[in-house]
Amino acid sequence: YEYFLSRQEMRFSLVVAANHSFGIGKNGGIPWHLPGDLKFFKNLTSHTSNPNLQNAVIMGRKTWESIPSKFRPLSKRLNVILTTQKDALKSRIEYSNAHLVSTFEEALRLLSSEQFSRSIESVYVIGGGSVYREAMKMSECEYIYLTRVDMNDVECDTFFPRIDETVYESSTVSEKNIDNGISYEFVKFRRKQSECKANEEEMQYLDLIRDIVENGVQKGDRTGTGTLSKFGCQMRFSLRDNVFPLLTTKRVFWRGVAEELLWFIRGSTNSKELSEKGVRIWDANGSREFLDNLGLTEREEGDLGPIYSFQWRHFGAKYVDRHTDYTGQGVDQLQNVIDKLKNNPNDRRIIMSAWNPSDLHLMALPPCHVLCQFYVANGELSCMMYQRSCDMGLGVPFNIASYCLLTRLIAQVCGLKCGDFIHALGDAHVYRNHIEPLKVQLKRIPRSFPTLEINPKVTNIDDFQMSDFTLKGYSPHKKIPMEMAV
């Protein structure tokens, strides 16, 4: 958990000189000599506001080798060199302020480690082309310091990526400078605030996955797949201004999220109702084979038993089957939550639990998201949900969206605004067969979350329908296939 916090805080900037075609190099060297730019580079990457701290520079092996040997390593800066030839290069680098790493991620981990995090003020990425490309995609890239050189008649074989103006905006532009007959200017780009905010929330999820994959404990599990896991983590998402935390680094099945939640609210335990709408997320757990393996041989296929929906609306009632009318039986926890929020919002007992030990043996699957508590402050409704078993690859993105939607619906019914959704994770795990797909996801840049508009005319929790929801601005990366462990 400490790693994930420090990783979040490890922001960095790119420093580059490029012509208007974004060319930056030729044959391992710089195609121009600009003393003013070299002075700017040295001042920017060396200066610290705290004299007890130093800055770090991250560079590729070719950039390191392009620096004249008498200037290596760059003085008054911690030099971090990326190379796939660590062993071969190690014998030629024997400096206390130069460190070799294999990947950009490893460089950030090194700088955010206890050894360096308290002695580093700023981090600058200084080349070359492939390092720039990887760094620019990361949400931690906060600024780009570009020296724009008016020299397009020179051939280059190394290029800086084009700057995406939907992500970065120009914040300052200097006056023109001239050295050796070459005109140039300094331009500072910064990541747009909306991008930073969206990234910070989704990066919680990505960084937790990264931490689990790299540092998690190997464990067996019920499915026989095997996991890497950590215990006791937390994420927080803001629901204000209609922002809806539907993760963007892979497509989340929004219609499935909404239809399942409405199905829970109805108190249904029949998976076929979802299947008929093309939502097949419960099909495997309701199959004939799965139920028979649990010893529920008398149960009809698709009858899931007293799962979430039953516990929310009929806690304590005797479960018979999916056809029985349970009206008036058991405790309607969901309605109790709404009544308390309307009549006694300061109550510290506004809780809904799906964990009923006396019914666990009758369920197709014991609840993973076990309990949620609601809290009102300054007219805003927040929800904290505790999840005992957290499938980070498949389940958790779905669970986040589901409880955020539940909070939105309850807030509307109770005449409240929305505050935060806090996700408390017990056994947070990555299945071994999800590791490679998740590595693909970890390379993606989070995009802004969508907004969700809900029909304001609906004021009864049982009256919401799919047509009452309008999701706007959801532009995720492509779907990443992952197999569900059953």
Find, among 445, 425, 454, 466, the residue nearest to 200 by Cα.
445
- Rounded to 5°, the CA angle 357-358-359 comes to 90
Residue 172's CB is within 10 A of a number of other CB atoms, namely: 10
What are 191's two structure tokens?
């990541």
Listing from the earlier edge strand, what are the strands of the sheet with 227-238?
A: 217-219, 227-238, 417-431, 380-391, 369-377, 351-353
Rounded to the nearest 10°, the torsion over CA 141, 112, 247, 435 is 120
Write out the two tokens for 198.
């969206």
State the greatest distance between any 2 C-alpha atoms of the chain, in Å, as a whole number.
Answer: 88
Catalytic residue among 156, 196, 233, 368: 368
**C-alpha to C-alpha distance for 356 and 316, rounded to whole angstroms:** 8
Q: Which amino acid is at 433?
A: N
In whole angstroms, what separates CA 8 from the centre of its chain? 11
For the question of residue 368 being annotated catalytic, the response is yes
- Comparing CA positions, the residue from 244, 258, 205, 200 lying closest to residue 450 is 244
Identify whether the C-beta of residue 212 lies closer than 8 Å to the C-beta of residue 230: yes
Q: Which amino acid is at 402?
A: S
CB 147 within 8 A of CB 126: no
Sequence-separated contacts (24+) of 274-282 with Cβ below 8 Å: 275/302, 279/253, 279/255, 281/253, 281/256, 281/398, 282/364
C-alpha 18/C-alpha 159 separation (Å) is 8
| CA 477 to each of CA 159, 214, 414: distance values in angstroms, whole numbers, following the listed order | 25, 24, 35
Contacts of 396 (CB under 8 A, 6+ apart): 205, 387, 390, 423, 425, 428
DSSP β-ladder status, 417-431 and 451-454 = unpaired
Residues serving a catalytic function are: 368
